[in-house]
Structure 1
């Protein structure tokens, strides 16, 4: 079955490739931190990103959607550059930008769910919900690691993410059910 929803097709292709960039970035991020517990946590996040990539590919295959060659090349290069830069830009910026990136990634899975629902497909609701929540968990991990850092207020003012702001409206302390989660991310920040 071919999907007749260009925005959904493109979002699936983008998510598939961007997950690779994120995983590559976390390889460098984990390698650059000294604290063993941080290494383990970031490595776990990397593995989650690889799993998300496989899950998205599985969904794409059900609808004969091929990965975008452009996105694959772009995000492969971007992920490798970010990975290498983690060794030279210090501790704060990899944490900050990982959290900021994860904050935006939360919505892509809830938006995907809505796009599928628009064309009468709800088979993927649970897995898309789980991936969106997992991305929120990643965001919160990085946010907590930064919450008392003296640079955070400046970066938050410039880039719009931090203790006072997120790019999604998911609250882990009060998550909605899969069905109710379709209201998440209707008004991206």
Structure 2
């Protein structure tokens, strides 16, 4: 150990590296009793935690068993999920294959065209039947209306009354026909 003094009054202590290492290894100020107890407690907790992971300790055996069970559950869940995905994909692909086959048969064969033409023909026949029924009703109503019409007297007052009654009847039949047309259109659209 050597002391060096500078001209301005400051002094320096020069130590050999071995001496410096020895001084660094020396313990610092003594710890209080509480600090020592806390240190011992922390060491005990660390050792307990370590012993619980040892394979020959009861806690270690339990922990290892639980880990194995957890891994087994996870692998089983993964297998089940993969099987579900496979089944879902297989079902979806089967549905798509069936749709494609149906579409191909429908497009490439004459059965599809015949089916469409038969469908169109049945709809047109239904519409024609509805029109024929409507025309029959109109004719029947006209026949009934002509029977109701009385031969007017040649009195001018009676003629005016007759004309007004006829206008009212025509208006009522026009409203009735409009309602029937509307009902038929609704039936045709929704059928």
Normalized per residue, which structure has more strand? 2
Which structure has the larger Rg over C-alpha atoms?
A: 2
Query: TM-score by structure 1 length?
Result: 0.21
Query: TM-score by structure 2 length?
Result: 0.20
Q: Which has the higher contact order (CA 8 A, sep 6+)?
A: 1
Normalized per residue, which structure has more helix? 2
